[in-house]
């Protein structure tokens, strides 16, 4: 079977689906129209389908075998105003598919159609997981908790993410740790207010906050293993209400991203201790709140090998590129904590066409030629997995 010929048969339909979804972007756990499109499309293919985790959808295609492989696509958009001059630009003010989830969803729908057309030859089952809220609180964990990996039990899982830094015709793979973990924190620094002319009567929350910001830099420079990346960012800081009044309160928020899952608690505790001790040394106090984010995404070697071996004959060895890990986060990580799998990158850039804007940019777009590449790699990987003896 020529998988690219099969992909080309549905390519136009999948592009139209992508554009339809792109025009009406929906935020996390609000993907009602998108999930309706997905649900109806899968049902019309004769695939067993159900709703899960509010706006999530899962379809199950049953073949002739006991093994089950899943493919995941995320559906949510971002609160960004689109600035692209294209006929399918977002029709919803302040919302945009600036991360390519419309592409992921459309490719998975096309994959479902191609595999449904050969269901009699499938040596196992395929689950199509359409996940909400990847960009916000995370839809992967609620789907897992509601049983998306059961009945039938999923034995392996794959997923993709478009990447404009890779050109159309290329894919990127990463062995082992591929995305960082994430921990968010909020700090309230409490001092004592006074007039600026009488600083000796105050406990200056702004000065305390400034010292905390400086001290927190030592977590990365002196407390973390230099061979294992960690990023600590203070992203917001707000305090004071008049130029001549010493502030009694400052609010700050930040995020920690790292590659050592087992050290997360230790690093967060260290950050809290630095904040607390710095404030106490200067006569103030701190309230510290941690919000646990996504875990580190760790690709399994066997499934990454499978994608690599599948893509070589399709794209050529020079177009299957080992890419470095990123300090970005991805809640596909939760699936990989439960099931062997791999998450790869699909090249969607085209410098000659000027398609080179990064994800989360208000002019982000893709070269739609990448869609048939994603279809071919998805379908071929599924077939190779189900036909293997492992």
Residue 31 marked in a binding site: no
What pLDDT shows up at residue 37? 98
Percent of the chain with pLDDT over 90: 97
Q: What is the pLDDT of residues 320-359, one digit of tens each?
A: 999 999 999 999 999 999 999 999 999 999 999 999 999 9
Average pLDDT in the 17-41 region?
98
Residue of higher predicted confidence among 255 and 223: 255
Considering the domain delimited by 3-179+296-387, tell me its CATH architecture: 3-Layer(aba) Sandwich (3.40)
Taking 70 as the threshold, does the pLDDT of residue 59 lie above it? yes
CB atoms within 10 A of CB 371: 26
Residue 294 known to be catalytic: yes
Q: Say if residue 195 carries a ligand binding annotation.
A: no
pLDDT(20) > 70 = yes
Note the pLDDT of residue 200. Answer: 97
Is 135 annotated in some ligand binding site? yes
Per-residue pLDDT, averaged over 232-259, amounts to 97
147 touches 329 (CB < 8 A)? no
Q: What number is the average pLDDT over the span 9-23?
A: 98
| Rounded alpha-carbon distances, angstroms, from residue 81 to 29, 31, 77, 133, 356 | 19, 18, 11, 18, 18
Assess whether 368 carries a catalytic annotation: yes
Residue 93: pLDDT band with limits 50, 70, 90: very high
When the candidates are 2.40.50.140, 3.30.70.360, 3.40.50.300, 3.40.50.12780, the CATH number that belongs to 182-293 is: 3.30.70.360
pLDDT, residue 251, reads 98
Question: Binding residue per annotation — 99?
Answer: yes
The arithmetic mean of pLDDT across residues 259-282, rounded, is: 97
| pLDDT greater than 70 at residue 390 | no
Domain ranges of the chain: 3-179+296-387, 182-293
pLDDT at 1: 79
- Across the range 267-284, mean pLDDT stands at 98
Residues 165/73, Cβ–Cβ less than 8 Å = no
Tell me: pLDDT of 375 over 80: yes
Supply the DSSP symbol for 376.
H
Among 99, 241, 242, CA closest to 161: 99
Average pLDDT, stretch 264-270? 96
pLDDT tens, 61-86? 999 999 999 999 999 999 999 999 99
- Average per-residue pLDDT for the chain: 97
Per annotation, catalytic residue among 6, 26, 330, 368: 368
- With b for 16 or more beta-carbon neighbours within 10 A and e for fewer, the 132-168 pattern comes to bbbbeebbbbbbbeeebbeeeebbbbbbbbbbbebbb
The pTM of the full predicted model, rounded to 2 decimals, is: 0.95
Q: Tell whether residue 275 is among the known ligand binding residues.
A: no
Out of 41, 179, 294, 385, the active site residue is 294
Q: What is the mean pLDDT of residues 27-47?
A: 98
User: 127 near 154, Cβ under 8 Å?
Assistant: yes
Say what the pLDDT of residue 223 is: 86
Task: Name the pLDDT band for 147 (thresholds 50, 70, 90).
Answer: very high
């Amino acid at each position: 079977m020529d998988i690219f010929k099969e992909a080309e048969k549905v390519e136009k339909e999948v592009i139209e689906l992508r554009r339809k979804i792109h025009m009406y972007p929906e935020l996390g756990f609000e993907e009602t129209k998108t999930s309706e499109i997905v649900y109806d499309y899968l049902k019309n293919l004769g695939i067993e389908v159900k709703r899960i985790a509010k706006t999530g959808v899962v379809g199950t295609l049953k073949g002739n075998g006991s093994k089950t492989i899943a493919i995941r696509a995320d559906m949510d958009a971002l609160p960004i105003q689109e600035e692209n001059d294209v006929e399918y630009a977002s029709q919803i003010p302040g919302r945009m598919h600036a991360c390519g989830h419309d592409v992921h969803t459309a490719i998975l729908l096309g994959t479902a159609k191609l595999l449904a057309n050969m269901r009699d030859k499938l040596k196992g089952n395929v689950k199509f997981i359409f996940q909400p809220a990847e960009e916000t609180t995370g839809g992967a964990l609620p789907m897992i908790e509601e049983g998306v990996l059961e009945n039938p039990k999923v034995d392996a899982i794959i997923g993709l993410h478009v990447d404009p830094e890779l050109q159309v015709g290329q894919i990127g793979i990463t062995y082992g740790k591929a995305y960082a973990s994430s921990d968010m924190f909020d700090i309230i620094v409490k001092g004592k207010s006074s007039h600026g002319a009488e600083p000796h009567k105050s406990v200056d929350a702004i000065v305390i906050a400034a010292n905390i910001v400086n001290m927190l830099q030592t977590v990365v420079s002196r407390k973390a293993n230099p061979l294992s990346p960690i990023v600590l960012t203070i992203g917001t800081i707000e305090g004071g209400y008049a130029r001549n009044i010493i502030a009694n309160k400052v609010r700050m928020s930040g995020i920690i991203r790292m590659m050592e899952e087992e050290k997360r608690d230790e690093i967060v505790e260290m950050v809290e201790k630095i904040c607390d001790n710095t404030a106490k040394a200067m006569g103030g106090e701190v309230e510290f709140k941690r919000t646990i984010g996504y875990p580190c995404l760790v690709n399994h070697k066997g499934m990454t090998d499978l994608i690599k071996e599948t893509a070589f004959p399709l794209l050529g060895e020079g177009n299957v590129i080992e890419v470095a890990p990123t300090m970005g986060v991805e809640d596909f990580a939760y699936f990989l904590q439960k099931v062997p799998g791999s998450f790869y990158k699909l090249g969607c850039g085209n410098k000659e066409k000027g398609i080179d804007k990064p994800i989360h940019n208000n002019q982000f777009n893709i070269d739609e030629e990448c869609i048939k590449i994603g279809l071919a790699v998805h379908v071929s990987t599924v077939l190779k997995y189900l036909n293997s003896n492992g």
